[in-house]
Amino acid sequence: DVEGSAAPATRDTSYFRIALIKMKLLSALALIGSAAAFAPAKTSSGSSSALNERVDPLDPSIGVTAPLGLYDPLGWLDPAKDPASGFATFHANFERRRAVERKHGRVAMVAVVGMLFHNAGIEFPGYLSKEMGIRFSDIPDGMM
């Protein structure tokens, strides 16, 4: 009876020892991987690809696709139809529209994160409108 109970304890000890070695190995690999993220990148001058080419950021042909060509249904890129053509150059208008697109994309991403927070039940303390007495917690999340 005593000998039979010692064998499972030895197996359990060896199992935990192997698990501990695996855990230490995985921790060391994770540490090495995170250290590699801060290492300087190697620069190769031998090969070139399309990703290494310098592209003018104001080139209006960026985003032009084969089946559609330059897709501009509202005619914003046509200088004759653009009311701001007298105030700024084509490239300035193009760069402004690109910046506005980035801003709208960022606002949309923040709105989605806000919706996810609200639907998860995370609400800010305080009032949405102090004069009307509307608290943030008074707004339903839209999920019935």
In three-state secondary structure terms, 49 is coil
Q: Among 96, 98, 91, 108, which Cα is nearest to 63's?
A: 98
The β-bridge partners of 65 are 69
Model confidence over 21-80: pLDDT tens digits? 888 888 888 888 777 777 776 665 555 555 566 666 556 666 677 777 777 777 766 767
Model confidence over 66-89: pLDDT tens digits? 777 777 777 766 767 766 666 667
Residue 43: which residues within 8 A CB-CB, separation 6 or more?
Answer: none
Supply the pTM of this predicted model: 0.40
CA 100 to chain centre: 19
Give the integer Cα–Cα distance in Å for 30 and 22. 12
In the prediction, which pLDDT does 142 show? 66
